[in-house]
Structure 1
Amino acid sequence: MKIKLFATDLDGTLLDSNDKISQKNIAAIKEAVNAGTIVTFATGRMYSSAVQYARQTGIDVPLITYNGALIKSTSGKVYSEQYINPLAVQEFVAYCEHKQWYLQVNSNDALFFPVYLERSADYERSTGIKGETVGWQELGRKNENVAKMLLVTAEYGKQDVEEKIQEENSMIYELTQKFAGKVMLVKSKRGLIEVINPAVSKANALYILAKQFGFGIDEVMAIGDANNDLPMLEAAGKSVAMGNAADNIKSVCDYLVGTNDNDGVAEAIYKYILK
């Protein structure tokens, strides 16, 4: 069956280890679009960050951002919006302040910090977005159109990887129990825990786009590497795991390609879309 929608994750998938899209990946995406396939980026990143990469490809595509909370095209057409309840945002910010857990808030596609730390600067560098430091009290007031909040834990040390993983899992469990039905927590990669509307996922975003464009989920292919990609990989008609993906991701996918530093996305497009 012809693939009509190709959804690619960004970090660890389309982007290499330097947060760049290779020329080979750009060329493959353009060829897929010219052949009639809709290409979408499916990412936990902000729209304002993801759209910079879309513009590099020179095509107007729907972008699944904030793990699906906002689907918006390169040219600005909005397909879907699902934000966190404003009261839930206030409660969550207050709880994280009490626990002294570092939290960032994305409101109206802008980035806000309670305090400015090295991890704030790291996040700005990786996304290409400049944030605003507003203090904890004001952070709780940034509750309008919040697509995502982000818990950023401390750096992983060489000796405490397992300890840090257990600590993050414990945070997720505690917050999931405390805010059940109000938010959902997704671990995208080490040190980053994304907080979104419970109805939001990359999988739901694929269903929304497939319905709007008039084809079935079996005509969708998704490619990714991380746990926040798992729902869309399981939902898509065909799924591709990156060579750098964890074993649990590889085990659910139909195909396996090279790593993000070896043009795995281009490999998938040429092998399974343009075959």
Structure 2
Amino acid sequence: MKLIAIDLDGTLLTSKSKPSKEGLDAIKATISKRHKVAICTGRAYFDVKGLIDADLNMNIPIISSNGAAVNDENGQLLRQTPLTQEAAAAAIQYLSEQDVYFEIFCPEAIYSPFDGEDKLQAEIDMLISANPDMDRDTLWKSALIQFQQFGIKPINDPMEVIQAGMPVYKLLIFTYDEHKLERIREHYHHNTSVHTTAAAQLTLEIIAKETDKGKALSYLADHYGIPLSDTIVIGDNYNDVSMFRVAGTKIAMGNAVDEIKQLCTQVTLTNNEHGVAHALIHLLEL
């Protein structure tokens, strides 16, 4: 038996942020051969369920929020590594001061300040002012992915999350301003309780120091009694690096960033070419 961990954005999802039907069919075929398949993503657990449940039509383990939560195929929470309440509160306060759009990932919902959309529209205005050839609709499509997540809820005061004592799995920043991203990344560079990662351009994520996909994958493999040498990972971006470092077989998407390709065992096709299906069917001969 092998454990195959598959990323979503840029991997199983096409550029339209929809699951590849061919990829889902290959996952079903892989499970029918008595292998374990898990989703391993930066997305929230309920967002993953909303994206794939209807088409996959079977329950599988899910590593969500970049490893902050691990659920088995029955939906039982096996492990969680949220930020401390102090670190989460400090991050919310800091991000509020940076005038950026951000989201707070909790077990039951993703909370986003009410004025977040206005902040992004203002950034687009500034970009177009400096670069008149840029297309507003194209820019806005990048942001729409955030607003179309399952379970996202607007909130007046983000500190309400802390006051309610909710676990915070991660904070996600989305901004068109690369200088803001770099400033936030540098702010947390030497932090002892949290670190940052990224799953896509224009984003940055703040998670607990002990949280990453690699640790979550190692935990899940141990839970099922599967050696790490019998684990396979498929991914494309920086937040996949930790699981590429621990897995036995590492498959990079054709559209993966160079750092992932340098760590990989094999390269498959791109997400728009159904690279997950190609990897499972042709490269791994599962």
TM-score w.r.t. length of structure 2 = 0.85
Deviation >6 Å, runs of 4+: none
Pairwise mapping of residues 19-168 of structure 1 onto structure 2 (< 5 A)?
19-55=17-53, 56-118=55-117, 119=120, 122-138=144-160, 140-141=162-163, 143-153=165-175, 155=176, 164=178, 167-168=180-181
| 2:27 counterpart SS class | helix
Instruction: Name the counterpart of 1:222.
Output: 233
Q: Does the residue aligned with 1:176 lie in a helix, a strand or coil? A: coil
Matched letter for residue 259 of structure 1: T
| Cα gap change, 1:172 to 1:238, in 2 (>3 Å) | same
1:17 deviates by: 0.9
Tell me the distance in 1 between the aligned counterparts of 2:270 and 2:236.
9
Going from structure 1 to structure 2, the CA distance change for 1:41 and 1:124 (only over 3 Å counts) comes to same
Q: Does the CA contact (< 8 Å) of 1:28 and 1:269 recur in 2?
A: yes
**1:113–1:135 Cα contact (<8 Å) kept:** no
Unaligned 5+ runs, structure 1? 157-163
Q: Is the 8 A contact 1:86 1:146 kept in 2?
A: yes
* Contact kept in structure 2, 1:5 and 1:39, CA below 8 Å: yes
Q: Distance in 2 between matches of 1:117 and 1:93?
A: 13
Q: How far apart, CA to CA, are the structure 2 residues paired with 1:74 and 1:134?
A: 35
In 2, the alpha carbon distance for the partners of 1:141 and 1:135 equals: 10
What whole-Å deviation, never above 9, does each CA across 1:128-180 have from its counterpart, x for those lacking one? Answer: 33322222443553552111111221x36xxxxxxx2x542332111233xx1
- On the 8 A contact 2:107/2:168 being kept in 1, the answer is yes
Q: What residue in structure 2 maps to residue 233 of structure 1? A: 244
User: How many residues align structurally?
Assistant: 262
C-alpha change, 1:97 and 1:125, in structure 2 (3 Å) is: closer
Write the distance in 2 (CA, Å) between the matches of 1:233 and 1:271: 20
Please tell me whether the aligned partners of residues 37 and 60 of structure 2 are also in contact (alpha carbons under 8 angstroms).
yes
* Residues 123, 263 of structure 1: alpha-carbon distance in 2 compared, 3 angstrom cutoff: closer
Aligned to 1:255: 266
The CA RMSD over aligned residues, in Å, is 2.0
What is the CA-CA distance between 1:74 and the residue it aligns to? 4.9
Q: Is the 8 A contact 1:124 1:131 kept in 2?
A: no
Alpha-carbon separation, structure 2, partners of 1:254 and 1:115:
44
- The 3 A distance-change label for structure 1 pair 54 and 73 is farther
Query: What is the letter of the counterpart of residue 105 of structure 1?
Result: I
Q: Provide the rounded CA distance (Å) in 2 between the counterparts of 1:176 and 1:94.
A: 17
Secondary structure, aligned partner of 2:105: strand
Structure 2 unmatched ranges of 5 or more: 122-142
**How many angstroms apart in 2 are the aligned matches of 1:47 and 1:9?**
13
Q: Provide the identity percentage.
A: 27
